[in-house]
Chain A
Amino acid sequence: MTNTTQGVLTPEVSPPPKKTKADKGFLGRAGVVGGVLVVAIVVALLQSGSGLVVWQSVVTGILTGGLYGLIAMGLTLIFGVLDIVNFAHGALLAVAMFISFGMISATGMHPYLTLVIAIPALFLIGAAVHRGLLSGTGGKSLENQLLITLGLSLLLENGLLMFFGAEPKTIALPHDFQFPLLGAVVAGSRLYAFLGAILLGALLYWLLRRTRLGTAIRAVAANGPGAELVGINVRRIHTLTFAIGTACAGAAAALAGPLVTVTPTLGEQFNITAFVVVVLGGMGNVVGALVGGLLIGLVEQLTTIYLGGQSSLLGVFVVFILVLFLRPQGLFGRKTA
C-alpha cells in the first residue's frame, strides 16, 4: 500500500492564506461534487414528482450520513496510521450494539447512557485485538491483515449469532418524538444520532490536532521510523490508534441503536458503507470521512428514490467503483507518489 498521508494526519506544511494550485483543484472538485449532487437531486425530483419526498430524502440522508462519517472516521484513522484495512470494523460495531442492547435490557438504562459503556468497552476490545492479533503484522503482506480481520469479523458475527440467536432485536428510545422540518419529518433519535456523531467527530479532530497524543499519532502516520527516532513508542501509538478507531464504532453503535434492528450481521452493511466512505474521503483522511459520510448518506437515499426499496446500496457501489477507478486517492485527497 502506498503511503497515504493526507488530510488531518498530515502535519501542517504550508501557511494557510496562499492560494495554491492544489487549492484550486480542491475547489474544482468540490464544485464537481456539488454539481453532480444538484443534478442527482433534480433527477430525483423529476423521478418522484414530489419535492417533499426528495426533501425528506435529503434530510434523512444527511442525518444518517453523519453516523456513517463517524464509523468511517475510525476506519480511516486505522488505515492512515496502521495501514490496516480493517474488515472487522462492522463486526466490532455489532458487538458494541449488543453490549448496548444487553445493558438496556438488563438494567433498563437510557440508550444514550450506554455510550459511557460502549466507548470504553470497544476501546479496550480494540486494544486487545491489536495487541493479540494484529501487532507484528505491520510490515507483513496485506493479505495477512486482510485475512486476520476477515477471520475476526466472521468470529465475532457468528459468536453473536451463537449466543444471541438470529432474531432481530430493537432498542427503543424512551420519549422519542418526531418533528417537522420544512415539511420533512425528522425523528428525534435520528437528529440526536447526527448531532452526537458530529460532536464526537469534532472531538476526534481536536484530539488529533491539539493534543500531544494526536501529534504523536500524526507523526507515526507520517513517518514511523522517524517518530521512533524522536522517542515515540510506535507500537503503543499503533495500539492506541486502533483502540480509538474501534471506539468510534462503539460510539456510533450506541447512537445508532434506536435507529436500526439489532442483528448479529448488521455490521456487514455498515462496514461496506464505511469502506465506500473511506475511499471517497481519501484513505486516512478523517475530515474526508465525515464529508464522505454525508455524501454517501445522500447517495443512498436518492438511490432509493430512483430504484426503490432494496437497492439503496447499488448507488453506493456505483459511486464506489467510480471513485476507485477515477480517483483512488479519494475525492479530496492529494495524489501520493
Chain B
Amino acid sequence: MSTITIAGPAGAEKVKAPPLRPQNRQLAILAVLVLIAIPLPLILPPAQGAVAVRILIFLLMAVGWNIMSGFGGMFSFGHAAYFGLGAYTSAYLLVKHNVSPWIGMVAGMAVAAAAAVVIGYFSFRYKLQGAYFALATFAFAEMLRLVVTSSAFANKAVGFTVPLIPDSSLWMLQFEADSPAYFWVALVLAGAAVAISIVFLHSRAGKYVTAIRDDELAASSLGTPVMRHKLMTVALSAAITAVAGAFYTQYYLFVNPELGFGSSVSIQAIVPVVIGGIGTIWGPVVGAIIVGALTDVTATLLRTPPEFLGFLQGRSGLDVVLYAVLLILIVRLLPKGIVGTIAARWRR
C-alpha cells in the first residue's frame, strides 16, 4: 500500500507533459507531505514525537469516519464500534494466542468490516436516515461496549495489556519507548489510508457513492446498485478505523472497554473531520493536526499553568472544553470546515 503513496505518481507523471488528473495531483501532494513528515521524529524532542504519533492515530480515525459520513453521507455516531473491534481483535489474538499485531490488525479490519456490513445492512434495509441512523450507530457501539464489559473472554472491564517483549521487533510492532519507528509505522498506515481515500473518491465506486449521497432516489432510478455501494463504503470506513484501533493498542500497550468502545472514541473520530471539512480529502488531515496539537497545548497548560490559570493545575477536561468550543465555532462560522471553506473561496 505504501508504495502507492510514496513512489507512484510523483515521479512517473513528471515525464508526461499533460496536467495531472485531480487524483494524481492529490496523490502527489500526499507523497510530498509524507516525505516532509519522515524526518520529523528525528528533529522533534521525544514529547513532541508522541504528539505526532497521536496526530496520526487521529488522522486514521478521521479518514475512516470521513469515508462513510463525508463521502457516503451516512452520519455515523458509532465509529467506536469499529475502533474497538480493531483494538480488541488484535489485542485478543496477541495476548491469548501470541499472534503478530500485523495479522491481528488485518483480522481486526475483517471483523470490523463484517460488523459494519451487518449493522449497515439492517440500517439501510429499514431505511434509517439522518438522526435515526446516527442514534442507531451510537446504540450499536454502546451495546458492544456493554457486551465487552461483561464478557469474560474479553477480560471484562479490565481489558488487555499488551505483553512486553525484550527486543524491538517490527513483526511484533514493539520498539523502545520514544523510538521513531512508531511514528514511521503510523505514518505509513495513515499515508496509505489517505491514499486509499483519494483513490476511492475518484474510482467508479466512489462516484456512485457520492451520487447516492447527493440524491439516492435519482441514483437508484438510474440503476446504481445503492445497497451494495453503501455497504462497500461502510466496510472500507470500518476497516480503516479498525487499523487505528489496532495501532492504538500496540502503541499505548493497553485497551479497555471505555478506551475501545466509549462514546468519546466516536467523538474523537468526528471532531477532526468537522474542523477540517466533512467530505474533503484534506479535511481530516488538517483537522487531525489541529486537534492533536490542541491536546498537547492543553496538556502543557495544565502541567504548568500561568499565574491567572493556577486553579487549573492538575484538572482534567480543559482539552475537551477547548475542542468543544472550536467545534461549535467552526460549525457556526465555517460550516464547511477549514479546508471546505478555503476550497469554496478558491473556486470563486
Contact = CB atoms under 8 A, between A and B. Distances in A.
Contacts of B332: 133, 148
B321 A133 contact: no
Interface stretch (A92-100, A201-209, A292-300, A311-319): A311-319
A317 B143 contact: yes
B312 interface: yes
Given A152-B328, A162-B318, A275 B263 contact: no
Contacts of A160: 317
Interface stretch (A5-13, A109-117, A139-147, A188-196): A139-147
Contacts of A307: 150
A161 B317 contact: yes
A166 B146 contact: no
Contacts of A33: none
A161 B147 CA distance: 28
Interface residues of B, number: 40
A310 interface: yes
A326 B312 CA distance: 48
A279 interface: yes
B126 interface: yes
A154 to B, nearest CB: 4
Nearest to A327: B126
A105 to B, nearest CB: 18
A337 to B, nearest CB: 14
A77 to B, nearest CB: 16
Nearest to B73: A143
A328 interface: yes
B214 to A, nearest CB: 13
A317 B139 contact: yes
A187 interface: no
Given A133-B332, A150-B327, A155-B321, A85 B315 contact: no
A165 B315 CA distance: 7
A146 to B, nearest CB: 6
A320 B316 contact: no
B316 A166 contact: yes
Contacts of B157: 310
Nearest to B135: A275
Interface in B144-172: 146-147, 149-150, 157
Given A147-B331, A162-B318, A325-B128, A279 B324 contact: no
Contacts of B131: 1, 85, 142, 146
B124 to A, nearest CB: 11
B139 A320 contact: yes
Contacts of A324: 126, 128, 132, 135-136, 139
Nearest to B157: A310
B146 A158 contact: no
A235 B190 CA distance: 45
Interface string A124-163: 0000000001000000101110111011101101111110
A216 interface: no
Contact of B328 (A133, A157, A279, A320): A133
Contacts of B122: 325
Contacts of A143: 75, 278
Given A147-B327, A150-B270, A158-B320, 20 more contacts: A1-B130, A142-B75, A143-B278, A146-B77, A151-B327, A151-B328, A152-B328, A155-B321, A157-B317, A165-B315, A264-B317, A268-B263, A308-B150, A311-B149, A314-B150, A317-B146, A318-B143, A324-B136, A326-B126, A328-B132
